[in-house]
Structure 1
Amino acid sequence: MQQQAIGIFDSGVGGTSIWKEITQLLPNEDTIYLADSKYAPYGKRSKAEILELSIKNTEKLLGFGCKIIVVACNTATTNAIKELRSMYDVPFIGIEPAIKPAALHTKTKKVGVLATKGTLSSELFAKTSDLYARNIEVIEVIGKGLVELIERGQIHSNEMHKLLFSYIAPMIKKNIDYLVLGCSHYPYLIPILQTMLSSKVTIIDSGEAVARQTQAILKSNNLLTTNTKSGKHILYTNDNVDTLVDILKSSTTDYSVSRLDF
């Protein structure tokens, strides 16, 4: 099992932000990534639909022999990971908005959270917020339409800039000093967000923390590869290959991209 790949899935290309962190921290590990772009975004789907899609992706990755599954999707984590862990024997790594560090370090006591409807309305998000942000004002905004634009390769479009600013403006008025990104697609918007926000606002995403947790779980389960060569990385999409290729163009990791029906 040590030489088997790390399996990663997301509701599209956004989870590649997590994939990049994992491949940087664990360069000798093989990875298999599923971009479930055909069904993106998960955030507007019901809990039952999200669970069904998460099971489908998990089954595909297990079919490839993956030794661990990273759910590189906030919505799938908050709505399905509990069930996935009860159904399968392999370890699962999830991703959820990093409310805790923002709540602990905010000076203005105002924290913004930009996420999908599926994440913000989930039980797990509510529990995390209640636990860490009781004395903090959390300005929650649903990033409606952002995932769709990213999936269409329109990160730098005028439509994206206008839409993103309309979501960030209420947070600026509230004087937030932390912005938590609650969707794995959103780290690709950080350069645009930095032009809209004061330099005093810290933007937090969960990618690095997920990579560290993946490493820790592999180690504790004696699943770290003994391979000393660079890992092999295969990324699959069930929609437009060009979108996945385009979003990976800045990656320095060797990889292959293919279309796959799943």
Structure 2
Amino acid sequence: MSKHPIGIFDSGVGGTSIWKEIHQLLPKENTIYLADSNNAPYGPKGKEAIIELSIKNTEYLLKKSCKLIVVACNTATTNAIDYLRKTYNVPFIGIEPAIKPAALQTKTNAIGILATKGTLSSALFSKTSGLFASNINVVEQVGEGIVELIESGKLYSHEMKSLLKIYLQPMIDANIDYLVLGCTHYPYLMPLLIDLLPNHVKIIDSGEAVARQTRTVLKQHNLLNSQVLNTKNDFFTNGNPDVMQSLLHGKFNVDYLGF
């Protein structure tokens, strides 16, 4: 089992930001990444639809003998991971916006959260926000249109910059000092965000924490791979393979998956 791959899925290419952190921390691990770009973004979809899509992705990865599955999608985590954990007999690692560190470290008593509608409206987000951010000003913004632009290869486009200016202005006006990224697509916006935000604003995403948790759970289940040679990293998408290739800088093959 230890030689079996880690499975990772997202509503699209954004979860490759999580894959990069896992691969950097655990280079001996075999991985399979599944991008359900044909159904991106998950955010506007209802809970039942998100669970159905998460089931489809999970079962595909289980057929590939994955030993652990990372739900590299905030919306799928907040809406479907409880169901997945109850239904399938493999460990699942989920993702949620890093509200806690932002809320604990803010000096201006104001933080911004850029996320999808599905994440911001979820019960898990509400619970986490209530636990750690009830006494501070939390400026929430649905990143409508961002995932679609990234999935269509328009990451650094004029449209993207214009959209981000609109979304960030209320946060700047509120004097936030932390911006929490609540979607795995959003770390790829980092150069734009740094350019648009005041210098004192720190940007937080969940990638490193997810990689560390993945390592912890693999250790707990005695599933760490000790084999050094011939590790494989396979990427599948039902969208445009070129978009994922560009984010991976052409270092890995990306196969089209017609489902």
Instruction: Give yes or no for contact 2:182–2:205 (8 Å, CA) kept in 1.
Output: yes
CA-CA distance at 1:259 after TM superposition? 0.5
Q: Which amino acid aligns with 2:133?
A: A
SS at match of 1:191: helix
Instruction: Give yes or no for contact 1:8–1:32 (8 Å, CA) kept in 2.
Output: yes
Aligned residues: 259
- Structure 2 unaligned spans of 5+: none
Distance 2:240 2:179 in 1: 31
Q: Which amino acid aligns with 1:195?
A: D
Which of 236, 256, 259 is the matching residue for 1:259? 256
Which residue number in structure 2 is paired with residue 101 of structure 1? 101
Which residue number in structure 2 is paired with residue 39 of structure 1? 39
SS at match of 2:43: helix
Is 1:174 matched up with 2:174? yes
Instruction: Give 1:77-96 correspondences, 5 Å limit.
Output: 77-96=77-96
Distance 1:55 1:197 in 2: 38
Which residue number in structure 2 is paired with residue 213 of structure 1? 213
Q: Which amino acid aligns with 2:51?
A: L
What per-residue deviation string (whole Å, max 9, x for no partner) do you get for residues 210-239 of structure 1? 000000000010000021236210000011
Identity, % of aligned positions? 63
Q: Which amino acid aligns with 1:129?
A: S
CA-CA distance at 1:247 after TM superposition? 1.4
Instruction: Give yes or no for contact 2:245–2:253 (8 Å, CA) kept in 1.
Output: no
Instruction: Give yes or no for contact 1:112–1:176 (8 Å, CA) kept in 2.
Output: yes
Q: Which amino acid aligns with 2:25?
A: L
SS at match of 2:48: helix
CA-CA distance at 1:126 after TM superposition? 0.2
Is 1:225 matched up with 2:222? no
Instruction: Give yes or no for contact 1:28–1:230 (8 Å, CA) kept in 2.
Output: no
Instruction: Give yes or no for contact 1:29–1:230 (8 Å, CA) kept in 2.
Output: no
SS at match of 2:7: strand
Which residue number in structure 2 is paired with residue 149 of structure 1? 149
CA-CA distance at 1:64 after TM superposition? 0.2
Relative to the length of structure 2, the TM-score reads 0.99
CA-CA distance at 1:198 after TM superposition? 1.3
- Structure 1 stretches of 4+ with a deviation exceeding 2 A read none
RMSD: 0.9
SS at match of 1:43: coil
Distance 1:232 1:22 in 2: 14
Relative to the length of structure 1, the TM-score reads 0.97
Is 1:199 matched up with 2:199? yes
Which residue number in structure 2 is paired with residue 59 of structure 1? 59
- Structure 1 unaligned spans of 5+: none
Distance 2:17 2:239 in 1: 18
Which residue number in structure 2 is paired with residue 71 of structure 1? 71
Instruction: Give 1:20-39 correspondences, 5 Å limit.
Output: 20-39=20-39
CA-CA distance at 1:260 after TM superposition? 1.1
Distance 1:113 1:143 in 2: 10
Q: Which amino acid aligns with 1:70?
A: V
Distance 1:57 1:184 in 2: 17
